[in-house]
Amino acid sequence: MKKKLVVLLAAVCAVSMLGGCGSDKKNDKKSDKKESKSTVSIDYNASDYVTLGDYLGMQVALDSNYEVTDDDVKSKIETLIASYPAYEDTDKTTVENGDFVNIDYEGLKDGVAFDGGTAKGTVLEIGSNKFIDGFESGLIGANVGDTVSLNLTFPENYQSTELAGQAVVFNVTINKIVTKQDINYDNITDQYVADNFSSQGYETVQALKDGVKEQLTKSNESTKETDTQSAILEKLQEVCTVNSLPDGVLDQRVKDYKDEMEKTLKDKYNMSVEDYLSSMNETQEEFDTEVNDYMQKNLEVELILTAIADKEGIEVDEDGYKEYINNIISNGNYADENALMDEYGEDYVKNIYRNNKAMDLITEKAVVTYGNTVTE
């Protein structure tokens, strides 16, 4: 699926966690809660549709070892340095093209300062064309200490509709002319770090290096966890076989998915599904196929995990289930537990919780290779 479409679909229906309808009849109990379109119950026994293979102790290999190297730290710091240039004062007094000029400026429309038009101590490279036409060229020939009034007009296609095509006046004071320092990973100093990164808690070069390494390590650990789960799920679908799907479940899942997407597009973006697909150059047929394939894959994974949970006798423990519910309520912006259950139904939520525990068991027993490292 196209990236934007995947993101939107995932946002309107997080199938891997909740979403859709149906229940495993071995765990199906009547609920007093209101039944919504996503809690329509279709009874089935997941084990009737799945042939389980050797799902415990699976061999799974990933190419990366997810370790943070010195080169990784260096690359990240060099990227940060590019966003925080350093400058030295000069004795130069007259602005020329190519100079770096430290300026204060105020933009006025009809004599009133407008939002985003005022700044102090900004360094501007003359000739970089970062400001609107006439701003940079209007400072050439000015001297340090001068205040220059520039009568300019914003372009018609300017991003701010309030300023597009409007005549304004910029009062610009030339504070000094500076030169850009050649700052790189090998010559950064404690003073440079303190000047630019103290707000992030770094005062020395070593503190910056340690902090960047810690951030990269956390990011890699998160990526490692996601990649590992994806690889294990992929392997799980190789060793286990879904022979068929329960009658009506996939159709209901697809319907719920499309209904929720239609509602999300309308409520958040004031768009119809047709308009959205047109903007994505996506046909209705392509969309239908993608959604069906996407929902079928999620349903197959759900059936496998439910069958494993049944076989392993996995139960819903009160403390773990409560924590799971609280996380969904918080991350899903539900008002409370009742709102969550009204949306999905308690039977289905409990079944997905059991599936997550089954996945934890499978992950714990898997033999995973990262690069040349094997973990169990």
Tell me, what DSSP letter sits at residue 94?
A: B
Q: How many CA atoms lie within 13 A of 31 on its CB side?
A: 21
Strands (E), the chain: 23-24, 43-44, 50-51, 59-62, 87-89, 100-109, 112-125, 147-153, 167-180, 241-242, 367-370, 373-375
pLDDT > 90? residue 128: yes
15/38 Cα distance (integer angstroms)? 11
The pLDDT of residue 331 is 81
- Report CA 58 to chain centroid distance, whole Å: 30
335/329 Cα distance (integer angstroms)? 7
pLDDT bracket for residue 34 (50, 70, 90):
very low
The pLDDT of residue 207 is 97
11/344 Cα distance (integer angstroms)? 16
**Residue among 3, 6, 360, 63 at smallest CA distance from 224:** 63
pTM above 0.75, yes or no: no
pLDDT > 70? residue 155: yes
Tell me, what DSSP letter sits at residue 143?
A: B
The pLDDT of residue 342 is 84
Q: 23-26 long-range contacts, Cβ below 8 Å, gap at least 24?
A: 23/345, 23/347, 23/348, 23/351, 24/306, 24/310, 24/351, 26/310
The pLDDT of residue 344 is 80
pLDDT tens column, 250-288: 999 899 889 888 988 898 889 899 998 998 898 999 999
CA torsion through residues 4, 9, 11, 17, sign: negative
Q: Which residue has the tokens 């304004």?
A: 168
**Residue among 26, 22, 21 at smallest CA distance from 45:** 26
CA 128 to each of CA 36, 97, 104, 124, 254: distance values in angstroms, whole numbers, following the listed order: 58, 9, 17, 8, 52
The pLDDT of residue 41 is 59
Which of 103-112, 247-256, 300-309 is predicted least confidently? 247-256
C-beta atoms surrounding 11 within 10 Å: 12
Cβ distance 140 to 96 under 8 Å? yes
User: Chain-wide mean pLDDT for the chain?
Assistant: 87
**Length of the chain (residues):** 376
The pLDDT of 10-34, averaged and rounded, is 37
The pLDDT of residue 7 is 37
Please tell me which residue, 220 or 15, carries the higher pLDDT value: 220
Q: Are strands 167-180 and 147-153 parallel, antiparallel or unpaired?
A: antiparallel
pLDDT tens column, 36-46: 444 445 678 99
**Residue among 291, 298, 300, 295 at smallest CA distance from 1:** 291
The pLDDT of 135-152, averaged and rounded, is 97
pLDDT > 50? residue 308: yes
